[in-house]
Amino acid sequence: MLHTNEKLPRATRPRRGKHRKKTAFRVIPLLLFVLTLTFLSIPAAVQPSSAGRVDSGMRQQYLALVSSQRQPLKKLEALSTAPKSGKPVRFEMDYKPLPTPTPTPAPTPTPAPPAPSTDGSSTFTAGAPVKVFHGPRGQGRVAITFDDGYHSSAITKILDVLGAKNVHTTFFPTGQALGQNRALWQRAVAEGHEIGNHTMTHPRLDKLDAAGIRNELQGMENQLQKALGGSAPALRFMRPPYGCGGFQESETILSVSGQMNYSGVIMWSVDPNDCKIKTAPARLQHILERVKDGDIILLHTIDMDAEILSSLIDQLRAKGLEPGGIDWLFS
């Protein structure tokens, strides 16, 4: 039995180096064989392909095209790898092309309203009103008309001048004004002046429907009956406040007026330019420079128009023009 600290002779020791070399020579070929089989078994799909790099560029070009057209990409199906055939990857694209713009048709122009009756030759028939701006030419006549009917002092002065000059004219008061100055309107009718309808509250009739227009005209008629009682005349004429619905056609105003048995929608051809002319002399001059045979003159029951009335009548007569009311102008 050998002791552990004893060494074997060199000849009897295991030959470890040679054994290791033999083992390595056997294992290395085996490993090479396994690696070869593994490499050959890898599918072609995982091998890099130049086609993949080309198709990546195609994808970028397509995306740039879609972006420039501002159309949403509905479907983009792409092969992530090159097929085994080696052909380049194809992208299947489905996108909506830009629609061909449809030209916007030119708007149809709105036809101009028919021209109002201004020949002055109208005859008035109850229930079939006509709109007039002036009377007949060549008769040496003009009409003086007064709107609104407020300011009792002005109305008194106007009635005094008309009486002194022996002139009968036409007033278009509102229903509200009739309720304030009943005694003066009784005097006006008694002295032979004509009354027309200027609505109850002086609204813009072109902003009202048929029922609203009827209520305004009927309201004024009711106030006239209260102010004059049995002496209230049957109204033949109406004048729209501000001229709204008169200077521009309003079939509704004519229709309602006809249903209420009116004969005429009375406008005017000469006005004193109330908004700009603020002095009596300038007002009188403005009218006289423009008035001519057959005209309808618009005034208001205010102190300034009452102040110029006497001179206006005198100078109209000096021009060969006799003033009067609407009914007289067309008679």
Tokens representing 312? Answer: 């206006």
Active site (annotated) includes residue 286: no
Instruction: Give the 3-state secondary structure of residue 246.
Output: coil
Q: How many residues does the chain have?
A: 331
Strand partners, 78: 91
Judge contact between 261 and 216, C-beta under 8 A.
no
Residue 296's φ and ψ, nearest 5 degrees, are -110, 120
Question: What residues have CB less than 8 Å from 168, skipping those under 6 apart?
Answer: 162, 191, 192, 193, 194, 324, 325, 328
Judge contact between 193 and 170, C-beta under 8 A.
yes
Residue 322's φ and ψ, nearest 5 degrees, are -95, 125
DSSP assignment, residue 282?
H
Judge contact between 196 and 238, C-beta under 8 A.
yes
Q: Say which of 147, 148, 206, 271 is annotated catalytic.
A: 147
Cα separation, 277 vs 232, whole angstroms = 35
Cα separation, 131 vs 161, whole angstroms = 29
Task: Give percent helix, percent strand, percent coil of the chain, each to the nearest 5.
Answer: 45, 15, 40
Judge contact between 175 and 199, C-beta under 8 A.
yes
Judge contact between 78 and 91, C-beta under 8 A.
yes
Q: Say which of 134, 206, 300, 305 is annotated catalytic.
A: 300
Active site (annotated) includes residue 147: yes
* Residues marked as catalytic: 147, 300
